[in-house]
Amino acid sequence: MNQQKRAYTFALLAILCWSTVATAFKIALGGMDFLHLLLISSGTALIFLSVLLVLKNQLSNSFKVSKKHYFSSAILGLLNPFLYYLVLLKAYAILPAQFAMSLNYIWPITLVLLSIPLLKQKIGIKSILCILVSFTGVVVIANKGSFASLQMPDPFGVLLAVGSSIFWALYWIYNVRDKREEVAKLFLNFIFGFIYITLTIALFSNFTLPDTKPLLAGIYIGIVECGIAYVLWLKAMKLTSSTDKISHLVFLSPFASLIFINLILGESIYLSTLAGLVLIIAGIVLQKFVQKSNSIE
């Protein structure tokens, strides 16, 4: 197997892992509060990353960073895992999995919008049209395909699912500026995120150990979402001859997620969910082509 084929293999395995997480969210939330799920999953991810760093003989070095990097991790850890998953998991607790998962995929468009004030990037009419395509998909999903009357499953849940994309986009913008080794950086971010969620539960909730099934789902999320899938994707990025060759494969994930949601959770998938998801992704892909053509010009 040549290097590029290995890159495709690692990328597809990462996407398969990510595709199961929406289902795991709902299973876990069926037996615990969203705050407790964030504590268990982020704690598990922290243990996984620490073991990974020990195996790479890099654990002690991950702490040997400047005060500036510690401050950066404190901010990044606030955005992800704390605020991003706090909002997203609450959305999953309110909405059917297919809605929460699909609406969360608006984040690349949110990234474009936030890049205007934060990165001083200009936006043209073509980009605006791409954004409108994606937001039409959001309306189709949230309104179950009806434009005649409002049929939102829960407006607050929809707001949370879309709003979570703001925290992820902010995390992405500030994360790319931090040039530390990725796993070590993520480890420090999760230490701060774990501190934030622990303090939140201490102030606003009482932790009780959930039953076995939701507990195992929470552990699975920590290992797979923030651990195995992340490592597999990093490996694919290192092996590929061009990031473009594997980046578009990510868009397989939401459609695979719908299959797991249907087969395991038993949710009937609305045609409007599929149509809206296609519109969201179409807007994102078109936006990428617009950015490429602008860079060539």
Q: Where along the chain do its domains lie?
A: 3-296
pTM of this prediction?
0.91
Per-residue pLDDT at 147: 53
Give the per-residue pLDDT at 39.
Answer: 96
**Maximum alpha-carbon separation in the chain:** 60
Q: Measuring CA to CA, which residue among 91, 87, 83 is closest to residue 26?
A: 91
What element of type H or E holds 218?
helix 212-223
Give the pLDDT score at 222. Answer: 96
Mean pLDDT estimate for the chain:
89
- Residue 48's pLDDT is 95
Residue 89 has pLDDT above 80, yes or no: yes
- The yes-or-no verdict on residue 149 having pLDDT over 70 is no
List pLDDT tens digits, range 263-293.
Answer: 999 999 999 899 999 999 998 888 878 776 6
The mean per-residue pLDDT over the stretch 134-139 comes to 88
29 pLDDT band, cuts 50/70/90, is very high
Length of the chain: 297
pLDDT confidence of residue 152: 61
Q: Is the pLDDT of residue 146 over 60?
A: no
- The answer on pLDDT for 297 being more than 70 is no
Q: How many C-beta neighbours within 10 Å does residue 177 have? A: 9
pLDDT band at 19 (very low <50, low <70, confident <90, very high): very high
Cα gap 244→283, rounded to integer Å: 17
Say whether pLDDT at 150 is over 70.
no
**Segment 40-63, tens digit of pLDDT:** 999 999 999 999 999 999 999 899
How many CB atoms are located within 10 Å of the residue 123 CB?
15
Instruction: Enter the tokens of residue 175.
Output: 């994360």
Share of the chain above pLDDT 90, in %: 58
DSSP string, 253-290: HHHHHHHHIIIII-PPPPHHHHHHHHHHHHHHHHHHHH
> Residues 86-90: what's their mean pLDDT?
97
Q: From CA 119, how far away is CA 282, in angstroms rounded?
A: 24
Query: In sequence order, which ranges of the chain are alpha helices (DSSP H)?
Result: 3-19, 21-29, 34-55, 59-63, 67-77, 84-94, 97-104, 107-118, 125-142, 155-175, 182-204, 212-223, 229-239, 243-247, 253-260, 271-296
What percent of the chain is predicted at pLDDT more than 70? Answer: 94
Average pLDDT for 120-124: 80
pLDDT above 70 (res 184): yes
